[in-house]
Amino acid sequence: MSSNSLDAAARPRIPAGIAGVADYEPHARERMDPAAWAYLCGGAGDEITLRANREAWDALRLLPRVLRPLADGCAGIELLGRRLASPLLVAPMAFQRLAHADGEAATALAAAAQGAGMVLSAQASQRLEDVAALVRDEAGRGPLWFQLYLQRERAHTLELVQRTEAAGFEALVLTVDAPTSGARDRERRAGFCLPPGISAVNLRPQPSQPQTQDFFAQVVAQAPTWDDVAWLRSATKLPLLLKGVLHPADARQALALGVAGLIVSNHGGRTLDTAVSTARALPRIADALGGALPLLVDGGIRRGTDVLKALALGAHAVLLGRPVLHGLATAGALGVAHVLRLVRDEFEIAMALCGCACVADIGPELIDPPA
């Protein structure tokens, strides 16, 4: 953590009037560099998928049950052999020091304090060993996972995996939906580039590639395939989850390869614009898996009711992305902890109002079918 964060006079405070996580967004935007905001909060193309993620959760209607016993209720879940206080994890997000000087360290501490899971990005702006050391021995913390992209050289991927294992991470999350970056117009208009002192400190610098007119000649050589997934699974002792699955056929192939779980994700709308929203993709993936794998989802989740809807559609847990960054930018670790607490509290309220004493009571019958 930065020395400034320990100074009582400079200690961040939660602004007055914060009632839900959306209230953090204007405060975060005020505090962040406009180009960094465009990078962290923008999407690809016309940002249709970015908007659709949110709109799809809003469009779902709940069909609550009443007069059901709620004594001794609990929002906890089991996930990959770990007990979580609630089905909330922090999604992997790059370069969090763009939002706050304390970066990923603050986010990890806040997640641990709230019993939420933390997925550290391969493009973190702080060393994975340092982040893990802050929280791995904390009692009551959620699971600590590491997200990675396959590197151009398998030896470099293996080196990163071995560091992850040694640092105490408990699972690997392989992002599979980004063989190239999306065409992010907002980011390009803002002229975003990483400022001095912020970089992907856990990755080896990549040599520049000669530019050619053939896009596929540049991308295909490094784009991962199912063979790479099989290799990675054999190269690590950690459970391997795939993040970025939207098509049921890919879910079935992942199941056949023996991965430990799937994350339904469209990269927060940052890669392929007009890709299906995660709320629409989720039930199809759940049907394809038939409960055979842990299933998580991200993209547009802002309310506790969204979490309940996700579980009703077949997810076992959800990942929160941009709201965490908004809390971080506004009030550091305190802001992140508050965001996580707000969503958890709303989720527990939604459970009670839908007649669910425990997560196992949440099922598809709570979603009103479209007319």
Q: Which of 27, 100, 247, 267 is catalytic?
A: 267
What is the pTM (predicted TM-score) of this model? 0.95
- Please write the tens of the pLDDT for every residue from 95-133: 999 999 999 999 999 999 999 999 999 999 999 999 999
- Please write the tens of the pLDDT for every residue from 343-370: 999 999 999 999 999 999 999 999 999 8
Shortest CA distance to 80 belongs to which of 17, 144, 12, 168? 144
Q: How many Å apart are CA 124 and CA 104, to the nearest integer? A: 7
What is the pLDDT, as a whole number, of residue 205? 84
Q: How many Å apart are CA 150 and CA 227, to the nearest integer? A: 12
Domains along the chain with CATH numbers: 20-191+223-365 (3.20.20.70)
CB 337 within 8 A of CB 47: no
- pLDDT tier for residue 4 given thresholds of 50, 70 and 90: very low
Q: Which 3 state secondary structure label does DSSP give 264? A: strand
Helix (H) or strand (E) holding 117: strand 117-120
Residue in the structure block whose two tokens are 């939906």: 177
pLDDT of 340 strictly over 80: yes
Distance of CA 156 to the CA centre of its chain: 24
**Distance spanning both ends of the chain, measured CA to CA:** 52
CB 80 within 8 A of CB 260: yes
Provide DSSP, 232-296: HHHH-SS-EEEE---SHHHHHHHHHHT-SEEEE--GGGTSSTTPPPHHHHHHHHHHHHTTSS-EE
pLDDT of 145 strictly over 90: yes
Q: Does 267 participate in catalysis according to the annotation?
A: yes
| β-bridge pairing 88-90 and 82-84 | unpaired
Cβ of 345: how many Cβ atoms within 10 Å?
Answer: 13
- Please write the tens of the pLDDT for every residue from 209-229: 555 567 666 666 678 899 999
* Interaxial angle between packed helices 103-113 and 322-353, expressed in degrees from 0 to 180 and rounded to the nearest 10: 10
